[in-house]
Amino acid sequence: MIDVVGKRIWFLGFSLVIFIIGLISLAIPPNLNLGIDFLSGTGITVSFEKKINTEQIQNEFNSLGLNSTNTQSLGDDIFFIRTERLSDFGSSSDSSSVSREDVENSFKKIDDQYRILEVETVGSKVAEGTIRNSIIAITVSSLFVMIYILYAFRKLENSVRFALSAVFTLIHDVILVTGLYALLGHIFGLQVNSVFVVAILTVIGYSVNDTIVIFDRIRENNLKFSSSTLPQNINRSINESITRSLGTSITTLLVLLSMLLLGGSTLRDFLVVLVLGVVVGTYSSIFVASQFLVFWEQGFRDKNL
Amino acid sequence: MIKIRTIVFASIIFLIAVLSISFKIIDVDLPGLNFNRGDSETFLGLTLGLDLKGGTHLVYEAEPKKGSELTSDDMEGARRILEKRVNSFGISESSVQLVGSGTGVSTKILVQLPGLQQVNISITIAGQSSEKELKDIISNLGYEELKVSQIEEADGRFAISGPRIKRNDGENDPSLLLSELDKSFPLAMLLAYTSLDDQNQPVDLPTLDQMEAAASLTEEADYVVEDLSQGVFRITFPDYVPRSGDVNYRFLDQAETSLLAAPFEEIGTLFQASITGGVSSWKITGGVEEAKKLIGETAQLEFKERDCLPIENENNEEEWPPDNLTKEEWLQLRCIIPTYYEDKAVALSGGDLVDAFPDVQPGIPRPVVSIVFDDDGADEFFDITSRVAKNQDLLAIFLDGEPLVAPSASSGITGGRAYIQGPTFDSGSVKTIAIQLKSGALPVGLNLIQERNVDASLGSDSLRKSLIAGGSGLILVLIFMISYYRVPGVIASLSLIFYATLLLAVFKLIPVSLTLSGAAAVILSIGVAVDANILISERTKEEIRSGRNIFSSINEGFSRAWPSIRDSNVSTIIICIVLYWFGDRFTTSVIQGFALTLGIGVIISMFTAFTVSRLLMRLISKTTIGEKLNLYDPVGKLFEKKD
């Protein structure tokens, strides 16, 4: 039997280290690499027949006068270019003077076998709305989930403790995932767009799901072994449900990873968040969530273990 | 106890699910039940989102006119105009919808135009024809790749679309399709004779024999003449080929009809010749770019003075009314047939119209449309109505260049307030006219705020890769489950296959558009479905260890696992509801698609765990496998348990 409660300082310390790494990643510019849904602009996905590198594209765009252009390779000779808003999009004043035709001519210069796979242009109004709506959606979801947890544990003594512990775990997961995503963003050029918000909300759902299964066990064991202390019951519960937690995570990760490796570039960023979310969510439900309960009961002291 | 009922129930559901995904197209046509689903071109006939089939997604934001606020009527008016424009373009399966900003009036319009690289044909068939009829004809002709959809009910306009216009034998000349359709929908003319000749003297109506004789004088070898009633005949030309050489666009106009009608003019006084059958318009377009240009323009309401030729012979012409018309006919036609009138620009514009609303007037049995002009408009309106009343002309109103209504006036109208009545007005049509007048009058400025084009090749590539990835993921999961959990793993795998089949069937039958984010949701929901099974088998294993017999262990394990399954999934469902609810604020269908797919997935996974997994576990426990309890224990232990 592994003594999770006894080693809780280590687990919380580990979380703290990841948390600090994430904070540092978030502090280094460009912080989170925001996509066009948040910043407005045009995103172009283009494929070439020839071997092209990002610098060639970057140079062509610079010579068009599109200086704030960011080019990424998505593999398979496909590139994603984020740039200023192209002029033929709308009449708004903050568009650049470069048209889609100019851009296509530049591509032609690089390789006349180019193919534009996707073009997305977002105006500044949508961008503002995305930021506001993301905040609202995350807040409202968390609020509803909190209410639900309170309801689910309503019959339990200290139901508020369980609910708040689940919420702390949820916040822990979101912060860690965002930090790690920022870290990976620096390395692989991952972007934050409205799909990121969906992914984070999904992580919240997953985190709560995992936590509730373990808390359900604790609730059951508290009734069954009422003579045992809370830490004993927590350890017992974790050991009883650890196979399930790992089993579920492994299966979910199997499908997510095969999707990430074989599924093409379009969903890459989204899947990365989910993979991080599953890993962090499983870790936190086993090693972190119940520690909040213990702290509430006895602080840092160890007793009756 | 295993209930037979449960077995039958689960089997029927599975059978329906398998059936509905084995056929690409489901077309049930029973009396009182008409159910059409599926798509002959897509994977399993599932409905695909724009990101998987390619297409364009445009979001417009409405801007209120100065000094006024946007109302939901304005937005509905603007939406209808955009819909009309999109439909006139002949792109099938397009959609125009208002998307919300949460509370209050939706200020955004989302236009979805599928098939960036498709060939679209917009076709009008005069006379009666149904979508199914046209569909059958086209597929019988061997054009199986083409899809047909009706654009507007009952006006004979259809959109035909497909990746290319290609027949099974490789023939890909679009004019061939047109001539084939011409054979299927033969041209028919309706000819009406009057019993008065040029000098208003009574004459005999032509007889059927005379008509046959005249028909033989046309250049057409094959014809059918029918006598419909007093002096009205229908002549059908099955082999008619239009004279105009350009097959990309053709319209059987007055000139072409007159040419065809010429021999018939000899034998009587022809009053009217009109087309009642055949392909009357045909237009091939290739792209969304044109559509985008067309859609983006602001709705424009125009007023024109319809100056018709005079009633009496004011200009001392030799004969009046012209073209051998009788006086009554002249009164009817002088403001209807374009050659007899001229629409003149006036100083009144859409901006002068302040309001338009459905209304009732004392003494008029039908509802009317009341209109209100501002001060400048009122003066101009008085001038125009005075002239129109004096000459018995009309005030023609156009929306986006299309005639909307053309009322007359009995005297000059002062005060800028008037109402329009019509013999066919009802509560529905006056509402529509009012909305159209108003949306033209209050041209909500439409700004394009978001645009997304997905190339069809990227879409199909994404779909293929996702299917490969999803399939391999699923197989890995099955291998893991069976090799680690053994018997419960096998049950979980069977249950997972049941789940996947049911999920796809539900997506097809509802139908839910499958998008990339939806595919991700399906992947996640596989995790959820597996989780339920793992919870059940873990609990069962514990019960077996505690010394129960296998059957009661399963029951006990199930009932203990169920609260966890339920509780843990509710939070996901809550998040899905919130996401779906907020989804349309994001002006991207990604979010709602994800939420809907994941929500449905979670609910189906709970259903599967509750019925199928339990049933399978019980069934298997009754066999000899049920006696080998060690097969219910996972291979090895991830963590050794020492109590």
Number of cross-chain residue pairs from A and B with Cβ atoms under 8 Å apart: 234
User: In terms of domains, do A216 and A256 share one?
Assistant: yes
Q: Which band of pLDDT confidence, cut at 50, 70 and 90, is reported for residue A304?
A: very low
pLDDT in tens, B135-146: 888 888 888 778
**Angle B261-B262-B265 from CA coordinates, rounded to 5°:** 90
Residue B35 contacts A, CB cutoff 8 Å: no
B84 falls within a domain: no
Is residue A50 domain-shared with residue A139, that is, in the same domain? Answer: no
- Is B82 contained in some domain? no
**Rounded average pLDDT over B43-67:** 79
Say what the pLDDT of residue B88 is: 60
Does residue B427 share a domain with residue B530? no
Q: What average pLDDT does chain A have?
A: 84
* Per-residue confidence (pLDDT) for residue A274, from 0 to 100: 92
The dihedral built from the CA positions of residue A95, A99, A100 and A105, taken in this order, carries a sign that is negative
Residue written as token pair 């100083």: B347
Specify the higher pLDDT residue, A299 or B252: A299
A266, B523: Cβ pair inside 8 Å?
A: no
Q: With beta carbons less than 8 A apart as the criterion, state whether B564 and B597 touch.
A: no
d(CA A294, CA A227): 17
A303 assigned to some structural domain? no
The pLDDT of residue A178 is 93
Nearest to B465 among A123, A209, A262 (CB): A262
Same-domain check for residues B599 and B473: yes
Under an 8 A CB cutoff, do A261 and B59 touch? no
CATH code where residue B413 lies: 3.30.1360.200
* Contact criterion met (CB < 8 Å) for B476 and A258: yes
Choose the closest CB to A194 out of B453, B575, B591: B591
Smallest CA-to-CA distance from A139 within A159, A162, A160, A167 is with: A167
What was the pLDDT predicted at B634? Answer: 67
In this structure, is residue A155 part of a structural domain? yes
Q: How many CB atoms lie under 10 A from the CB of residue B381?
A: 28
pLDDT at B292: 64
pTM (global) more than 0.90: no
A135 touches chain B (CB under 8 A): no
Q: What ipTM was estimated for this complex?
A: 0.84
> Model confidence over B215-272: pLDDT tens digits?
888 777 788 888 887 788 888 887 776 665 444 445 555 666 677 778 887 787 777 7
Q: Is B449 within 8 Å of A122 when comparing Cβ atoms?
A: yes
- What's the number of domains chain B is made of? 3
Do A122 and B450 lie within an 8 Å CB cutoff? yes
Q: Are residues B355 and B212 in the same domain?
A: no
Q: Look at residues A122, A140, A162 and tell me which one is the last residue of a structural domain.
A: A122
Question: Same domain for A115 and A255?
Answer: no
- The answer on A159 and A84 residing in a single domain is no
Q: Are residues A285 and A210 in the same domain?
A: yes
**Residue partners of B364: CB distance under 8 A and separation at least 6:** B421
Give A198-241 pLDDT, tens digit per residue.
888 888 888 888 888 888 888 888 888 888 888 889 999 998 88
Residue B613 DSSP symbol: I
B308 CA: distance to closest CA in chain A (Å): 41
| Structural contact between residues B391 and B312, judged by C-beta atoms closer than 8 angstroms | no
Q: Is A12 on the interface with B (CB under 8 A)?
A: no
B449:A248 CB<8 A:
no
Residues B229 and B275 in one domain: yes
A164 and A273 co-located in one domain: yes
Contact B449 A252 (CB under 8 A): no
Residue of A nearest to B475 (CA): A255
What per-residue string of b and e applies to A32-67 under the rule 16 or more CB within 10 Å gives b? bbbbbbbbbbbbbbbbbeeebeeebbeebbeebebe
**Domain-located, residue A304:** no
Tell me what the mean pLDDT of segment A107-127 comes to.
Answer: 82
Q: How confident is the model at residue B106 (pLDDT cuts 50, 70, 90)?
A: confident
Shared domain for A138 and A276, answered yes or no, is yes
**B503: Cα separation from own chain's centroid:** 25
B449 to A205: CB separation less than 8 angstroms, yes or no:
no
Determine the pLDDT at residue B252. 58
Same domain, B499 and B550: yes
- AA letter at B18: V
**Contact yes or no for B468 and A119 at CB 8 A:** no
Q: Do B449 and A90 touch (CB under 8 A)?
A: yes
Q: How far is B434 from chain A (nearest CA, A)?
A: 30
Q: Is there a domain that residue B533 lies in?
A: yes
Does residue B212 have a pLDDT over 70? yes
Name which of B568, B585, B591, B641 to mutate to probe chain A: the one with the most chain A Cβ atoms within 10 A of its Cβ. Answer: B568
Own/partner pairs for A92-97, CB < 8 Å, 24+ apart? Answer: A92/A123, A92/A124, A92/B447, A94/A124, A96/A65, A96/A66, A97/A65
Alpha carbons B536 and B7: distance in angstroms, whole number: 19
Q: How many other C-beta atoms can be found within 10 angstroms of the C-beta atom of residue B48?
A: 22
Q: Is the pLDDT score of B442 beyond 60?
A: no
- Residue in B462, B477, B585 closest to A255 by CB: B477
pLDDT score of A275: 94
- Please answer whether residues A244 and B557 qualify as being in contact, where contact means their C-beta atoms are separated by less than 8 angstroms: no
pLDDT for B437 = 77
In a shared domain, residues A24 and A70: no
Specify the pLDDT at position A305: 44
pLDDT of residue B411: 85
Q: Which of B282, B144, B268 is nearest to B209 (CA)?
A: B268
Structure tokens given for A277: 């979310």
Residues B414, B526, single domain; the answer is no
Nearest chain A CA: its distance from B301 CA (Å):
22
Which pLDDT score is estimated for B233?
87
Say whether both B516 and B620 belong to one domain: yes
| Structural domain that includes position A233 | 8-34+126-298
B617 in the same domain as B474: yes
Domain boundary among B258, B286, B314: B286
Query: Is the same domain home to B261 and B304?
Result: no
- Residues in A touching B462 (Cβ below 8 Å): 263-264, 266-267
Write out the two tokens for B597.
């797919």
Q: Are residues A152 and A277 in the same domain?
A: yes
The residues in A 189-208 lying below 8 A from B, measured between CB atoms, are: 194-195, 197-198, 201-202, 204-206, 208
Is B575 in the same domain as B462? yes
Residue B88 lies in a domain: no
Please tell me whether residues A237 and A286 are part of one structural domain. Answer: yes
Q: Cβ distance A282 to A208 under 8 Å?
A: no
Cβ–Cβ < 8 Å for B517, B591 = yes
pLDDT of A105 over the 50 cut: yes
State the pLDDT at residue B170: 66
Residues of chain A with pLDDT > 70, as a percent, come to 95
Q: Are residues B273 and B340 in the same domain?
A: no
In a domain, B194, yes or no: yes
CATH code where residue A53 lies: 3.30.70.3400
> How far apart are the C-alpha atoms of B283 and B279, rounded to whole Å?
11
Q: Decide if A159 is inside a domain.
A: yes
Domain match, B343 and B471 both: no
Instruction: Quote the percentage of chain B above a pLDDT of 90.
Output: 3
Give the mean model confidence (pLDDT) for residues B281-291: 63
* A90/B639 Cβ within 8 A: no
Which of the four pLDDT bands, split at 50, 70 and 90, describes residue B192?
confident
The helix (H) or strand (E) run that includes residue B250 is strand B249-251
Structural domain boundaries, residue B397: 300-442
Q: Where are the beta strands (DSSP E) in A84-149?
A: 115-122
- The separation between the first and the last C-alpha atoms of chain A, rounded to the nearest angstrom, is 13
pLDDT attached to residue B120: 73
Question: Which among A122, A144, A171 is the end of a domain?
Answer: A122
pLDDT tens digits along A30-71: 777 788 888 888 888 888 888 888 888 888 888 888 877 888
With respect to residue A95, please indicate whether it lies within any of the assigned structural domains: yes
Q: Can you give the pLDDT at residue B296?
A: 61
Is B472 part of the contact surface with chain A (CB cutoff 8 Å)? yes
Q: Which residues contact B100 (CB under 8 A, 6 or more apart)?
A: B106, B108, B584, B585
- Between A300 and B507, residue with greater pLDDT: B507
Q: What is the dihedral of CA B275, B278, B283, B288, to 10 degrees?
A: 110
CB A130 within 8 A of CB B586: yes
- The answer to whether residue B467 is domain-embedded is yes
Last residue of a domain, which of B442, B468, B486?
A: B442
Number of separate domains in chain A: 2
